[in-house]
Amino acid sequence: MVQSPIFTTIRLNNIQLKNRIIKSATYEGLSVNGAVTDRLIDWHRQIVLGGVAMTTLAYCAVNDEGATFENQIVVNEASIDGLKSFTAAIHKAGGLCSIQLAHCGFFSRNKKLKSRPISPTRTFNNLGLFSGIPFSRTMTEDDIDSTLSDFAEAAVIAKESGFDAIELHAGHGYLLSQFLSPAFNRRKDDYGGSIEKRPKFPTEVLQSIRRSVGKDFPILIKMNVSDGFKGGLGLEDAKRVASTFEKAGVDGLVLSGGFTNTSPFFLLRGDIPIKQMVQVERNWLQKIGIMLFGPVIIKKLPFNELFFLGAAQQIRRVVNIPIVYIGGVTSLQNMESVLSDGFELIALGRPLIHDAQFINRLESGEVNKTGCTYCNQCIPEIDRDGVRCVL
Ligand SMILES: Cc1cc2nc3c(=O)[nH]c(=O)nc-3n(C[C@H](O)[C@H](O)[C@H](O)COP(=O)(O)O)c2cc1C
């Protein structure tokens, strides 16, 4: 067995992780009608059997209008039995599980929506253009209050269902990230404008979740170090946001970047699988849109190992809580250098989609590097028949 600080335990609030590796949230596309399926459970069971300390159930909406996709899990009374089966299976397999709680804000193509999607300020919704929802509406104070309580209720359900931690999604251009972003939050009230005000709503969400799950329950926040486009949230503002979340009592930060409707490959880097994205798109207009405009709109960024490390190090200097490093971790050597830079935990996405056994294989010495080529074809596979590696 390989000896490495990666394979040492760590505490996060009231849980103990057996090593430093978390499976990052990667939307699975395996839920049906808002509920957990056996395939979804088995997918995560394989990840946990493959050696990670904790897996993350991706992109679960806190209410119906917060779901981007029609089949996405909505955390409510109807999904609770499935969520309980999920956590029971993961615990039986010897791992821990976290649930990513999110609200999509305007980033919706959900035709089940009864009214326009909400956002900090009214905006154009390029994702929903061909699904008949081209614009969002500005959130009222009532929307703010009801969304806060939906986050808190979803958190209670998550805890009661047996999840070991919550990851609040405040990155990637979804609702909380829309509030943090100067490009999408142009509110004139206490929730918008300066960097002092934009974090107000995400912080209130964190506090309402904290009140509902208690002080012992681990809460992580996934946030952007940068939105990845001019006019979006930049690193200096991200430092302020990180400190604000620390003061508000979050247990750890998961650092990422990018804005799904504007800079989607900033969080991934590597190839842009346009051909496959066109193949799996069911809406004909959207298909033509991706074919024509995809190559122009989606900016290609080369894949580099540890592509968020520089920015993450700057956040590391301003907070004292645990940080989960994400982005381009490819090898045991990478992982060890991330820990020696002062990060406590590491999350992996694509290397574990490529090989669920990756961590076991690193620990046994069978491999020391991922075989993932960062072709990113796992992304269109979500829409074909669930996330998977095509290699
Ligand atoms: C197929 C796929 C789906 C993803 N879905 C989500 C998601 O639902 N929520 C999220 O926060 N990040 C999502 N991500 C981003 C990953 O969590 C991670 O931040 C990113 O892949 C970089 O890590 P990596 O270099 O280890 O893959 C997704 C990534 C991939 C490849």
pLDDT in tens, 151-205: 999 999 999 999 999 999 999 999 999 999 999 999 999 999 999 999 999 999 9
Could you give the angle at the alpha carbon of 107 between the alpha carbons of 101 and 110, nearest 5°? 90
* pLDDT exceeds 80 at position 114: no
> Is residue 143's pLDDT more than 90?
yes
Residue nearest to atom 11 of ligand 1 (CA): 25
Q: What is the pLDDT of residue 289?
A: 81
Helix (H) or strand (E) holding 72, with range, is: none
Range of 289's domain? 5-385
Residue 320, pLDDT score: 98
Polymer length of the chain? 391
Ligand 1 atom at minimum distance from 328 CA: 25
| pLDDT at residue 274, rounded to an integer | 92
With respect to residue 312, please indicate whether it lies within any of the assigned structural domains. Answer: yes
The residue to mutate among 20, 21, 27, having the most atoms of ligand 1 within 8 angstroms of its beta carbon, is 27
User: To test the ligand 1 pocket, which listed residue (30, 267, 325, 372) has its Cβ within 8 A of the most ligand atoms?
Assistant: 267
Atom from ligand 1 closest to the CA of residue 256: 19
Query: Contact 75/168 with Cβ under 8 angstroms?
Result: no
Of all protein residues, whose CA lies closest to atom 9 belonging to ligand 1? 25
Residue nearest atom 29 in ligand 1 by C-alpha distance: 26
Return the bridge partners of 224, or none. 256
* pLDDT attached to residue 105: 97
Of all protein residues, whose CA lies closest to atom 13 belonging to ligand 1? 26
Q: How buried is 294 (Cβ within 10 angstroms: 0-12 exposed, 13-18 middle, 19+ buried)?
A: middle
Q: How far is CA 32 from CA 40, 74, 177, 294, 316, in A?
A: 10, 10, 26, 28, 39
Q: How far apart are the first and last CA of the chain?
A: 28
Task: Give, to the nearest 10 degrees, the angle between helix 309-318 and helix 235-247.
Answer: 40
Specify the range with the lowest mean pLDDT, choosing from 92-96, 106-110, 371-375: 106-110
Where are the extended beta strands (E) located within 171-311?
A: 219-224, 252-256
pLDDT of 292 reads 83
CB 129 within 8 A of CB 118: no
> Measured between alpha carbons, how far is 103 from 202 in angstroms, rounded to an integer?
11
Q: What Rg value do the Cα atoms of the chain yield, rounded?
A: 19
**Cα 224 to averaged position of ligand 1 atoms, centre (Å):** 13
Q: With b meaning 16 or more CB within 10 Å and e meaning fewer, what string describes 354-388?
A: bbbbbbebbbeeeeeebebebbbbbbbbbbeebbb
Q: Is 214 left (phi over 0), alpha (psi -120 to 50) or beta?
A: left
| Cα torsion through 11, 12, 15, 17, rounded to 10 | -60
Locate 317 and state its tokens.
């200097």
Nearest CA to ligand 1 atom 14: 26
CA of 137 to the centre of ligand 1 (A): 28
- The total domain count for the chain is 1
Which positions are catalytic?
174
268 Cα–ligand 1 center, Å = 7
User: Residue 142 Cα, ligand 1 centroid: separation in angstroms?
Assistant: 32
- The alpha carbon of 26 and the centre of ligand 1 are apart by a number of angstroms equal to 4
According to the model, what pLDDT value does residue 239 have? Answer: 98
Q: Per residue in 222-232, pLDDT tens?
A: 999 999 999 99
Q: How far is the CA of 121 from the centre of ligand 1 (A)?
A: 26
**Residue with the nearest Cα to atom 21 of ligand 1?**
349
What is the C-alpha separation between 81 and 234, in angstroms, rounded? 41
The C-alpha angle 93, 389, 271, rounded to 5 degrees, equals 135
Protein residues with CB under 6 Å of any ligand 1 atom: 24-27, 58-59, 100, 169, 172, 222, 256, 267-268, 326-329, 348-351, 378-379, 382, 387
Which DSSP letter does residue 63 get?
S
Mean residue pLDDT across the chain = 96
Report the CATH number that the domain containing residue 197 is assigned in CATH: 3.20.20.70
Strand partners, 323: 253
Alpha carbon nearest to ligand 1 atom 23, residue = 327
Distance 25 CA to ligand 1 centre (A): 6
Residue 27 located in a structural domain: yes
Largest CA distance in the chain: 58
What is the mean predicted confidence (pLDDT) over 255-280?
Answer: 94
Amino acid at site 22: I
391 domain-assigned: no
Q: For the range 122-129, what are the long-range contacts, defined as Cβ-Cβ under 8 Å and sequence gap of 24 or more?
A: 123/184, 125/261, 126/261, 127/68, 127/260, 127/261, 129/286, 129/289
Q: 189 alpha carbon to ligand 1 midpoint, in Å? A: 33
Ligand 1, atom nearest to 387 Cα: 1
Domain-located, residue 195 = yes
Average pLDDT of 207-214?
98
Q: What is the pLDDT of residues 52-102, one digit of tens each?
A: 999 999 999 999 999 999 899 999 999 999 999 999 999 999 999 999 999
Which residue has the CA at smallest separation from atom 10 of ligand 1? 25
Q: Which of 20, 21, 22, 26 to mutate to test the pocket of ligand 1 (most atoms within 8 A of CB)?
A: 26
Q: At 281, give phi and psi (nearest 5°).
A: -70, 130
> Above 80 in pLDDT, residue 30?
yes
Question: 274, exposed or middle or buried, with CB in 10 Å at 0-12, 13-18, 19+?
Answer: middle
Nearest to 162 by CA among 67, 64, 71, 57: 57
Asked if 12 and 165 count as a contact pair (C-beta separation under 8 A), the reply is yes
pLDDT digits (tens, 9 = 90+) for 305-353: 999 999 999 999 999 999 999 999 999 999 999 999 999 999 999 999 9
DSSP assignment string, 149-160: HHHHHHHHHHHH
Asked whether residue 390 is domain-assigned, the answer is no
pLDDT band at 296 (very low <50, low <70, confident <90, very high): confident
Contact 145, 166 (CB under 8 A): no
User: Using CA atoms, how far apart are residues 348 and 55, in angstroms rounded to an integer?
Assistant: 10
| Alpha-carbon span 301 to 149, nearest angstrom | 38
